[in-house]
Amino acid sequence: MAEVLQTILNAFKEATSSFDEAYWINKDRSASFPSEYLSKLRELELTAMLLPQSLGGAGLSLYDYLKLVRLSSSMHGVEAGDLLMAYNVFGSLVISNLKSEKLAEKFSKLLIEGVANPCVAITEPQAGVDTFSISTQAEYKNGEYTIRGKKIWITMAANSRLMTVLCRTSKNQKRSFGLTAFVLDPSEHKEVKFSRINDIALRSLGSYEVFFDDVKVGEEAILGERDKGWEAITRVLNAERLSTAAIACGVSDLLLKKATWYASNRVVFGRPIGSNQAIQFPLALCKACVEAAWRLVIEGAKKFEKGENAAFEANASALLASKTAYEVSDIAMQVFGGMSFAVETGIELHWRNARLLRVGPVPEQMALSFIAHNVLGLPRSF
C-alpha cells in the first residue's frame, strides 16, 4: 500500500508542477476557477480517492488522501488542498453515506468526471458558529421536503452539482436533534440562487450567499436519518478538520521553503539575513510545530479509519496547524521585507489564505471550546 501511495504522490508531483506560482496568483487576482488544475486532478483520478471501489472510486484510506493534501498545499497553496478536500470529503464521504443507490451512483459519476464541485452549506448569517440555532427549514408534506432559508460563505456553491445542506426539520430540547442534512444538485433547482461574496480568501474557488426559495427534494435526499443530521455530518466535519490541518501543514511547508531560501540568499550588512538567530529561531519553532500537528493528523486518520471518534485529533490538529500556518506566513512577510508586498513575490496570497484557516472551517475558539468541554470536562460556556 505504501508503494501505491508513493506512486500517486510522484505522479501528482510530476503532473502538477506546471501549475506554478503565477498560475495561482492569476486565479486569485481574477477570482477565476482553477478548472485546468481540476482537469488534471480528474486525469490523475484524484477526485474520488475515498469513494468505495463499488461506486467507481479508488477506495483509498484517509491517511493516503491526507498525505496528498499536504503535498498539494506544499506545492500550490491552500486553494489546491481545499479543492481536493471538497471532492474527497464533501464528495466521496457524503456519497458513500447515501442510502439511495440511485443518488449515490448519480453523484459518483459527477465526482469521477470532475464536475461535482461538492460543497457543504451549514453557516448562516444569524446563527454563526451556533449551528444548532440555524433557521433554514425543511418542511415535510406529501412525501417531499420544502427547503426555505439562507446560507452564507458557501465555497464553490454556484459551480456545485453536489451540495449538502443542513436544515432544521423539528424542534427538540436536545438542540442537536431535529437537524437533517439533504444532498442535492443545485443545477436542477432554479429555486436555489447565489450571490458571490467579494472575498479575500479562497478567491479562485469563490464563496457565496445561497438562497433557498422553496426548494423541493425527496426523502431519498436525506444523508443518514431525518433529525439526526448532526450525527451524519459530524464524521464529514471531522474529516474536513483533519484536511484543514493537512492543508495548513502543506502551506507551512511551502512558506518555510520560500522564507528559508530568501533568508539564505538576501544579503544585508554583508551576510545573509538568515544567519541571524532572530530570523532562524521563529522559522525553526514553526517547523517543530508543523511536524507536531502533523502527528496529530496521522493519529486522527488512524482512528477515523478504525471507525473510532477522532474529534479531539481533528480539532486539536486543525487548531495547531492553522495557528502555525498563519504564524509562518506572517514570519515570511517579515523575512521578505518590502518585497512581500509585491503580489508576484507570492507571499501575501498565502498570508490571506492562511489567516482564513484560523476562522474557518472551525474558528480557534470553537476548537478550544470543544477541548475544554469534551476532553477536559470543564463546565460548558455555551
Q: What does the binding site for ligand FAD look like in residue numbers (CB under 6 A)?
A: 119-123, 128-129, 153-155, 199, 201-202, 207, 356, 359-361, 363, 365-366, 381-382
Nearer to ligand FAD, 122 or 296 (CB): 122
Local structure of residue 371 (DSSP, 8 states) = I
Q: Distance (Å, rounded) from C-alpha 325 to C-alpha 358?
A: 9
Backbone angles phi, psi at 180, to 5 degrees: -130, 135
Alpha-carbon gap, residue 60 to 89, rounded angstroms: 12
Residue 307's closest CA among 126, 90, 61? 61
> Could you tell me the smallest distance in angstroms from the CB atom of residue 194 to ligand FAD?
12
Residue with Cβ nearer ligand FAD (58 or 152): 152
Q: How many other C-beta atoms lie within 10 A of the C-beta of residue 145? A: 21
Between residues 55 and 80, which has the closer beta carbon with respect to ligand FAD?
A: 80
Residue 13 to residue 317: CA distance in whole angstroms: 25
Pick between residue 108 and residue 160 the one whose CB is nearest to ligand FAD.
160
- Closer to ligand FAD at the Cβ: 70 or 151? 151
Q: State the Cα–Cα distance between residues 299 and 252, nearest whole angstrom.
A: 20
- Is the torsion defined by CA of 343, 347, 349, 355 positive or negative? negative
**Cell numbers representing residue 49 in the block:** 480517492
Q: Describe the chain by its helix, strand, coil percentages, rounded to 5.
A: 55, 15, 30
Nearest approach, Cβ of residue 291 and ligand FAD (Å): 27
Residue nearest to ligand FAD (CB): 128
276-279 long-range contacts (CB < 8 A, ≥24 apart) are: 279/335
Residue 353 C-beta: closest distance to ligand FAD, Å: 9
- The nearest distance, CB 238 to ligand FAD, in angstroms, is 15
71-84 in b/e burial notation, b at 16+ Cβ within 10 A?
bbbbbbbbbbbbbb
Alpha helices in 20-76 (DSSP H): 21-30, 35-43, 62-76
Cβ proximity to ligand FAD, 158 vs 286, nearer residue: 158
**Contact present, 184 and 217 (Cβ < 8 Å):** yes
**Which residue's CB is nearer to ligand FAD, number 60 or number 122?**
122
- Quote the cell numbers at residue 27: 486565479
Q: Angle between the 229-265 and 62-76 helix axes, to the nearest 10 degrees?
A: 40
Q: Which is nearer to ligand FAD, 155 or 324 (CB)?
A: 155
Selection from 364, 90, 75 nearest residue 245 by Cα: 364
Integer-rounded Cα radius of gyration of the chain = 21
Least CB distance to ligand FAD at residue 267 (A): 38
The distance of closest approach from Cβ of residue 158 to ligand FAD in the complex, given in angstroms and rounded to an integer, is: 12
Which residue number, 226 or 352, has a Cβ lying nearer to ligand FAD? 352
C-beta of 136: minimal distance to ligand FAD in Å? 11
Find the shortest distance in angstroms from Cβ 358 to ligand FAD. Answer: 8
Q: Is 142 or 198 the residue whose CB approaches ligand FAD more closely?
A: 198
Please, what is the minimum distance in Å from the beta carbon of residue 73 to ligand FAD?
Answer: 16
Q: Identify the sign of the CA torsion 4, 6, 12, 14.
A: negative
We find the least distance from the C-beta atom of residue 369 to ligand FAD, in angstroms, to be: 6
